[in-house]
Amino acid sequence: MNSRMVIRRIGGGLLVLWLVSLLTFLMVQLIPGDPAEVIAGDNASVADVDRIREQLGLDRPVYEQYLSWLGGVLRGDLGNSLFTNQPVTEAILDVAPPTLALTLTAIVLALLLGVGTGVIAGLRQGSWIDRAVSTLATLGIAMPSFWVAMLLVSVFALTLRWLPATTYVPLDRGFGTWLSHILIPATALGLATAAELARHTRGCVADVLARPYIRTARARGASTPHLIGRHVLRNAAIPVVTVLGLQTSRLIGGTIVVEAVVGISGLGSLAVNSVLQRDYPVIQGYVLFCALVVVVVNLVVDLAYGWINPKVRAA
């Protein structure tokens, strides 16, 4: 990928982010009725409604509201929560660590489980292992992550009592404690991603093994571990990166429900609570934050192709 294409991709990403910001800004304008009255609730006094109207700047012309809001967003100022008055950026960064830890652990588990089973299934096509992997993968894709989390809590926390049922524990309380608390939600979150990875890795391995250069290498006496390390895994890296990129959205959405099941106060819980409380600045901040993550991940995936695959680099 040459530098002109990189710049074009970044420009495309920025355009999408700007459009997301426009839609997010319009959210408050689109509330049916008088937004300030709706947000304040049924029992609010006139003073409360006026305070909210002023805080959201709803008494000014729309374009003026947008420009000052956008100016704030570009400086990292997303306004203040209507309920706690805490700056939105701070509120988001406060609860981001558990969600980040949960998502990254889910990705690591998904890679180990998905790529591992995918390679084994691809090497033994048509065997019972292959059929078992593909059946489980189909099932894994159809299972909602919050239900998987409920089942895991039911079995491993409440019945067998092997793992704690709820809450997040930061890493500085010890790796073992941290892992025991995050294992259930991360497994639930990563299962569908593991299933997708297994499917695509299997397909890629089967594809590579059918190529003539593999037969040539075998004829030269190359061992199977050598073939896997040198040819198969390298080629499988491309679908793995693609799937992980596409799964970002699913993982972010998954954190919302999984956090609700195991009682983690992360970004997902923040989002749900602010929707229930109609705390619009926080919702807007959360939506923008998610869009930023998705756009950046897509960009990184695009750039990673060039790094993994020399053919793309030359083009």
Partner 1 sequence: MDPAPPATRVDPAAGAAPRSPKQRNRVLRAVVGRPASAASLGVVTVLVVLAIIGPLVAPYDPDAQDLSNRFADPSWAHLFGTDDFGRDVLSRIITASRITIVAPLISVGIAVAIGLPLGLLAAIRGGWVDAVAGRLADTVLALPALVGALAIVAVLGPGLVNTMIAVGIIFAPTMFRIVRGAALAVTEETFVQSATAIGSSQRRILAVHVLPNIAAPVLVQVTILMGVALLVEASLSFLGLGVQPPDASWGSMLKAAYASQFDAPYAVIPPGVAMVLTVLSFNTIGDAIRDAVGIRRRM
Report the C-alpha gap between 87 and 19 in whole angstroms: 23
Spatial neighbors of 235 by CB under 8 A, at least 6 apart, are 204, 207, 208
Report the C-alpha gap between 310 and 188 in whole angstroms: 36
Say how many residues touch partner 1, by CB under 8 A: 55
261 lies in the site for partner 1, by CB under 8 A = yes
Q: Return the SS3 of 220.
A: coil
Q: Which is nearer to partner 1, 207 or 215 (CB)?
A: 207
**Would you state the structure tokens that stand for residue 83, as one six-digit string?**
């309920």
For residue 168, the 8-state DSSP code is -
Q: What residues from 48 to 67 belong to the interface with partner 1 (CB under 8 A)? A: none
**Would you state the structure tokens that stand for residue 181, as one six-digit string?**
């608390």
For partner 1, which residue of 87, 97, 253, 306 counts as binding (CB under 8 A)?
253
Report the C-alpha gap between 59 and 33 in whole angstroms: 15
11 lies in the site for partner 1, by CB under 8 A = no
User: Angle of helix 3-30 relative to helix 280-308, nearest 10 degrees?
Assistant: 160
242 lies in the site for partner 1, by CB under 8 A = yes
Closest distance of CB 143 from partner 1, Å: 5
Q: What residues from 17 to 36 belong to the interface with partner 1 (CB under 8 A)? A: 17, 19-20, 23-24, 27, 30-32
> Nearest CA to 282 among 29, 84, 20, 59?
84
For partner 1, which residue of 88, 103, 115, 146 counts as binding (CB under 8 A)?
146
Closest distance of CB 247 from partner 1, Å: 10
For partner 1, which residue of 125, 249, 265, 309 counts as binding (CB under 8 A)?
249
**Residue 163-202 contact track with partner 1, rule CB under 8 A, x = bound:** -------------------------------------x--
Report the C-alpha gap between 10 and 296 in whole angstroms: 9
151 lies in the site for partner 1, by CB under 8 A = yes
For partner 1, which residue of 228, 295, 302, 304 counts as binding (CB under 8 A)?
295
Cα 102 from chain centre: 10
Report the C-alpha gap between 34 and 53 in whole angstroms: 10
Q: What is the CA radius of gyration of the chain?
A: 24
For partner 1, which residue of 7, 62, 93, 139 counts as binding (CB under 8 A)?
139
Q: Which is nearer to partner 1, 20 or 129 (CB)?
A: 20
Instruction: Please report how many Cα atoms fall inside a 13 Å half-sphere around the Cα of residue 263, on the Cβ side.
Output: 7
The contact set with partner 1 (CB under 8 A) reads 12, 15-17, 19-20, 23-24, 27, 30-32, 138-139, 141-144, 146-147, 150-151, 153-154, 158-159, 200, 239, 242-243, 246, 248-250, 252-254, 256-257, 260-261, 271-272, 274-276, 278, 280, 283, 286-287, 290-291, 294-295
